[in-house]
Structure 1
């Protein structure tokens, strides 16, 4: 892969090539991408979606929106630092094409801002609830009506693929979705493959999938424009990652490792003294002891250690990226950057404590159960209504449900797969509170 193609400013529907040297320096194309994402209704919906603790009413616990903003800030720093090094190494990118350090930061920041935009209500349990509905619930009825890959899309419903759909799906009056630059869409796509085949490899790009069958053509166009390397068998759509996707992933890894841990402390799920010791182990080589000892409160000490830990991991991620740049460009780097960290043991210790004390805490598990029940019920009612309408077999109740859905779902879809995916897409855009309210209305608990 080469950087000239990977930094493409092209947008959906473009007839002419966009050149970096012709960009308005007061409003660069990659910065426009950031603006389009942050002003989108899909992004605003993240303010009421779970990050760590579902349905939390505590002010200092992160939502998907605050998490995404923080990942974007870390991503911007990663991109700028890497951009500086890349322009020193490949000066023709600046001299011949006009790329600047901030371009790399803007691409990573925009992709990182959108990295969770496709996540359904109630966190990762929401993804699992949708998948289980089709894998072993009422949705299994549709298996014989779908292709193998279409059915797998639903059984392994994936927030990353749903995010790609949100960003680039055409609809009336909005061709190409948000019309983001291809460089940003490439950096956003951490798993540039379709849902099948499930590859028994340890390559990080094979961990999940990045687009539904409904966006297959759009992704192939993206991959060709960016010059992504083909992987896998000829009939399967699988590519090497866009190199900057490694930085988006690193930004997310850094934030959820450190900040989810901080949320656990603030919620009282992790003992303060115990937690501070874990963070101290991570920053022992960079901490200024005199400064740390002057801090009086646990909150101040936690804030100091969090900032130091994030900065330490940012600098290391930059070094790792530059060390492995050639392998990354050749599609031969199979790990995430943080998996190569010299602090891997300390990071694993922190994540282990977070899993045991936060993600598997009674509070989180109980609320995930509630979310699971809500999503299952919404899927059951909505899929039945749209499929019955498609067959001209609607009951009066179905027609009432369709009144609720008519502005959110295009009922003129041609296939069962498109209708089912449209239902999942509709539910995925709901906030936690909206999903609960809709569930209550369907069950006559709120009128």
Structure 2
């Protein structure tokens, strides 16, 4: 892979090549990507979607929206610093083509801002609930009507693939979705493969999948424009990652490792003194003990250590990226950056505590169970309506349900897969509160 191709400014529908030197420096194309994501309705709904603590009523616990904003800030720093190093290594990118360090930052920031845009309500349990409905629930009825890959898209419903659908899906008046630059779309795709085969290798890019069958053509278009390396065999589509996807992933890993831990402390789920010790172990080489001991309360000490920890891990990620840049461009680097960090032991310790004290806390588990039941109930009604509509067997209740579906959902086509996936995409866009309200409405208890 080469950087000039990887930094493509192309957007869906373009008929002429966009030249970097011809860009308006006050309204750079990569910065437009960020604006389009942040003004989208799908991004706004993240303000009422679970990050770790579902339906939390406290004002200091992160939602998907605040998490995404923080990941984008970290991603921007990573991108700019890597960009500076890349341009020094390949000066023609700047001298001839006009690329700047901030271009890299803008691409990573926009992709990081969008990284959770496809996640369903109730956190990762929402993904599992959708998949479980089709794998072992009433959604099993669709298996006989779909190809193996189409059915697998549903059984392993993936927020990353749903995000790519949101960013690229055409509808009347919005051809090409948000029409982001292909460089940003490439950086967004963590897992550039389809749902089957599952985990064909131990490569980080094969851990999950990144697009549904409905967006297969859009993905191939992006991959070919960017010059991503084809890794798939036979009829199975798989490509190497865009190099900047490693930075988006690192920004996410850094934020959830440190900030989910901080949320656990603020909620009293993790003992403060215990937690401070873990953070100090991570920043021991860079902490200013005089400044630290001058802080008079726990909140300020945690805030100081959190900022220092994020800064430490940003520095580490930049060094790791540049150390492995050749392998990344060749598609042979097969791990997440933070998995090869010299701080891996400290990161693992922090994540282990978060799993035990936060992710598996009674509050989280209880509300995930409720979310599971809510999504299952909604899908039961909605997919039953879709099947009856497909078979020309609509009852009066089904006809009423059809009226609450969005006008953008096209159910007139004969392709059952697109209709069912469209319903899953619709439900995945729900905020936690809208999912609860919709479930009550369907149960006849919302009056």
Q: Give TM class, smaller chain.
A: over 0.9
CA distance, structure 2, for counterparts of residue 364 and residue 315 of structure 1: 33
Match of 1:191 in 2: 191
Match of 2:425 in 1: 425
The correspondence of residues 207-356 of structure 1 with structure 2, limited to 5 A, is 207-356=207-356
C-alpha deviation, 1:407, in angstroms = 2.5
C-alpha deviation, 1:414, in angstroms = 2.4
C-alpha deviation, 1:198, in angstroms = 1.1
The more displaced of 437-446 and 130-139 is 437-446
C-alpha deviation, 1:253, in angstroms = 0.1
Calculate the TM-score normalised by the size of structure 1. Answer: 0.99
- 1:191/1:209 contact within 8 Å kept: yes
Query: How many residues were matched structurally?
Result: 447
CA distance, structure 2, for counterparts of residue 369 and residue 121 of structure 1: 13
Match of 2:79 in 1: 79
CA distance, structure 2, for counterparts of residue 231 and residue 389 of structure 1: 39
- 2:199/2:208 contact within 8 Å kept: no
C-alpha deviation, 1:96, in angstroms = 0.7
CA distance, structure 1, for counterparts of residue 190 and residue 347 of structure 2: 21
- 2:171/2:408 contact within 8 Å kept: no
SS class of match (1:244) = helix
- 1:162/1:212 contact within 8 Å kept: yes
The correspondence of residues 8-47 of structure 1 with structure 2, limited to 5 A, is 8-47=8-47
The correspondence of residues 93-108 of structure 1 with structure 2, limited to 5 A, is 93-108=93-108
The correspondence of residues 165-180 of structure 1 with structure 2, limited to 5 A, is 165-180=165-180
CA distance, structure 2, for counterparts of residue 414 and residue 72 of structure 1: 40
The more displaced of 363-372 and 410-419 is 410-419
Could you give the per-residue CA deviations for residues 198-246 of structure 1, whole angstroms, max 9, x where no partner exists?
1342210000000000000000010000000010303111000000000
* Aligned residues: CA RMSD: 0.7
SS class of match (1:15) = coil
Could you give the per-residue CA deviations for residues 117-176 of structure 1, whole angstroms, max 9, x where no partner exists?
000000000000000000000000110110000000000000000000000000000000
CA distance, structure 2, for counterparts of residue 229 and residue 402 of structure 1: 43
Could you give the per-residue CA deviations for residues 61-101 of structure 1, whole angstroms, max 9, x where no partner exists?
00000000000000000000000000100000001100001
C-alpha deviation, 1:406, in angstroms = 4.2
The more displaced of 119-128 and 230-239 is 230-239
C-alpha deviation, 1:339, in angstroms = 0.3
Could you give the per-residue CA deviations for residues 372-399 of structure 1, whole angstroms, max 9, x where no partner exists?
0000000000011122122221111111
- 1:195/1:212 contact within 8 Å kept: yes
Structure 1 unaligned spans of 5+: none
Match of 1:396 in 2: 396
SS class of match (1:441) = helix
CA distance, structure 2, for counterparts of residue 119 and residue 317 of structure 1: 25
CA distance, structure 2, for counterparts of residue 380 and residue 305 of structure 1: 46
SS class of match (1:385) = helix
Could you give the per-residue CA deviations for residues 295-344 of structure 1, whole angstroms, max 9, x where no partner exists?
01100000000000000000000000000000000000000000010000
SS class of match (2:243) = coil
